[in-house]
Amino acid sequence: MRTLKFIDLFCGIGGFRIAAENAFKKAPIKASCVFSSDIDPDSCAVYEANFNERPFGDITKTSEHNIPDHDLLFAGFPCQAFSICGDRLGFKDTRGTLFSDIARILKAKKPQAFVLENVKQLRGHDEGRTLAVIISALEENGYHVEWKILNALNFGLPQKRERIFIVGFRKQLHFEWPSGGIAMKPLAKILQKKAPESYYASEKIKLSRMEKGALKNKYNGPTIWHENKGGNISVYPFSCAMRAGASYNYLLVNGERRLTEREMLRLQGFPESFVLDCGYTTARRLTGNSLPIPVAEAVICAVVKSLEADFEKVVEHKRAKATRLPDNVIYA
């Protein structure tokens, strides 16, 4: 059984790594994470608690030649420069230029494939020019690139979280995007039966929510009430996208209380064994910055399937070549 090595850039609390490990459990190959990196100390502490290794810090502070050789690169590169919650400055925003670190590593290490993740707004930022620059840079490094926006709702999670995934291969391989179609897990299986009183909003906030949203609740069972920047309330049997920098009260279970740390992890697809030992504000930021694990897992599975199909073709070609008789053999 062969082993593929991968690196986990801008790793956060490890969503991409969990997705990769889950994907490789379904494949006839092993996987090994040989490098991880994140600048945020809170993220690094949580990552270390769950994976027993401390991520490297600021990726801009190390040469690409110091990065271990690897077959796959995963990166949920910082999205603030492209998000509707940011200033939409793209590459004019210093955070946006962190993509250049991915590009320089790809150029130096030439892994077989990569998977990148970002907010869906990247597609239309600057009328599509930002994404075009990114795709062009990836292609200039010798990769065949595809991208697609996928929604966590279609992959079993009760969270409307649309994200753009960008995949690339050094060889032009047949690749099929995962179709999703997985039934959404009901909120009742995500939400805790009881939550401490400290998670409940004030009476003033609850009354305001009821006035704005009670008539919109057409569902039986638990719901999550979402308040946008304009003060409009939406009520759904799933969560709108969790955001790292949003108000404490923009998502309220049944219009009454905030999500607990465990509920936030579940909405992103983290396993029950995942440890998140930090304050509430930090937990909300870290989970809001993470990715929907089942979606990333499905994309990685599709990438590995393409790589394995190509590997089998190469092996079969070598076998055929080894067993073929020389052309100068005279047959009796």
Residues annotated catalytic, as ranges:
79
Other CB atoms within a 10 A radius of the CB of residue 1 amount to: 6
What's the half-sphere exposure (Cβ side, CA atoms, 13 Å) at 185? Answer: 17
In angstroms, the CA 265 to CA 280 distance is 12
Cα three-residue angle 243-247-248, rounded to 5 degrees: 95
In angstroms, the CA 93 to CA 76 distance is 17
Concatenating the DSSP letter of every residue in 184-202 gives: PPPGGGTS-S---GGGBPP
The alpha-helical segments, DSSP class H, found in the chain are 15-25, 41-51, 99-109, 129-140, 203-213, 261-267, 280-288, 293-323
The 8-class DSSP code of residue 208 comes to: H
In angstroms, the CA 267 to CA 265 distance is 5
Q: First vs last Cα of the chain: how many Å apart? A: 41
Token couple for 237: 């049997």
Contacts of 191 (CB under 8 A, 6+ apart): 222, 253, 263
b/e 176-186 (16+ beta carbons within 10 angstroms → b):
eebeeebeebe
